[in-house]
Amino acid sequence: MGMKLALMISVATMLYTCQAGSNLHPLILIPGNGGNQLEAKLTSDYKPSSLYCNKWNPVRKDKEGWFRLWFDPSVLLAPFTKCFAERMTLYYHPDLDDFRNAPGVQTRVPHFGSTQSLLYLDPYLKHITAYMAPLVESLEQIGYVNGKTLFGAPYDFRYGLAAEGHPSHVGSKFLQDLKDLIEKASTSNGGKPVILLSHSLGGLFALQLLNRNPSSWRQKYIKHFIALSAPWGGTVEEMLTFASGNSLEVPLVEPLQVREEQRSSESNLWLMPNPKLFGSQKPLVITPNATYSAYDVAQFLSDIGFPQGVYPYKSRILPLTEKLVAPGVPVTCIIGSGVSTPETLFYGENGFDEQPEIVYGDGDGTVNMLSLLALESLWSNEKNQTLKVIKIRGVSHTLILKSNAALEEIIGEISGINSIAEYYVGYRIK
């Protein structure tokens, strides 16, 4: 731990002690895409595509047959990568107008309400799969206690939400569970409103929760919303994921082996570049035969060989992305900057099965700066909305949960919110 962060935590701890410990607002962590463990169970309806994917794999299961689907290190080995992908794949059912698991695959999210499944994606490989562990440790050092003042809201990150008038069974249930957790956390802490602290995709879910509940509920239960690295307007990298697959820097994984599974993810569709923000003039993908802007995503999905994604995108996702409504509660965005981020993808004559040439721009390595700063432009005329933006140069999308510079800002922000001193709201660059 850096000296400056240690000093920050020491000061925050003294403030906490001086305020008799009762001044901490309960805090709920909402992870990003792939940011918590996911478990699965195979039923008699499961039809493996190969012997490698038979029900004996993986060997480690509990007595009821549940095993960790995400993250499991077997995904690194080619034959088992295919098993992982087919078990993670979602299917859109036009008759239901909703997404479902693959036949014979049941899934569940362990430890809802606790930080346990957010700390490490694989508890047996803590060193290489740490996610929110450094952040939780820093929060505990200023007095937060898991299950008392600190809570986790893991979810099935493959699923997203849908626009009004369309069902979204899994995503909507998560929002209801999150709402119940917020109310429970507040009630168990003397009625104090809650601080929501999200990372990446979790920020989109949190904003949707706030906007789907009345102002009176928000004012009663929400103290502050802190969003880390939120992709408010989607990312160009998501177009690469759909076109060519994305190994997400996991070693030994071939992008094409996971491409179909990644295309099937409802939440990945949600992260396509927002036309309202990226506009119609900026080329995002260029091929010998076509150029695609954010307004051409539907055509892009068809041209890459994923026409089944067009209707869900146009009917369920696109109307959802048009509503980034100010929630009327204080919001702080903490983002990385100055990290090379895909801005334009160039494909050659060999098509989308090969990785593209990439022109990079500013962002956090995953999310473009335009998307990270979207709320600043969209809410500039909102008189009843408090928005603070903190930019940390050189901090990437995931490093924001681990680096000393980022943890200093996060802990400082939370300590300020908890402090009896007047809380300053504004804009600054670090």
The residues carrying an active-site annotation are: 200, 364, 397
3-state secondary structure of 325: coil
Position of tokens 């009176």? 216
Residue 421 region by backbone torsions, left for phi larger than 0, else alpha for psi between -120 and 50, else beta: beta
Distance CA(251)–CA(151), nearest Å, equals 32
Q: Where do the DSSP E strands lie in 175-324?
A: 194-199, 222-228, 285-286, 291-292
Q: Do the bridges between strand 150-152 and strand 105-108 make them parallel or antiparallel, or are there none, so unpaired? A: unpaired
Position of tokens 């008699």? 44
Distance CA(210)–CA(3), nearest Å, equals 37
Angle of helix 404-418 relative to helix 3-18, nearest 10 degrees, comes to 10
Q: Do the bridges between strand 285-286 and strand 331-337 make them parallel or antiparallel, or are there none, so unpaired? A: unpaired
**Closest to 34 in 3D by CA, of 146, 155, 145:** 155
Long-range Cβ contacts of 359-363 (<8 Å, 24+ apart): 362/337, 362/338, 363/336, 363/337, 363/339
**Closest to 250 in 3D by CA, of 85, 66, 31, 40:** 85
Q: Do the bridges between strand 67-70 and strand 38-42 make them parallel or antiparallel, or are there none, so unpaired? A: antiparallel
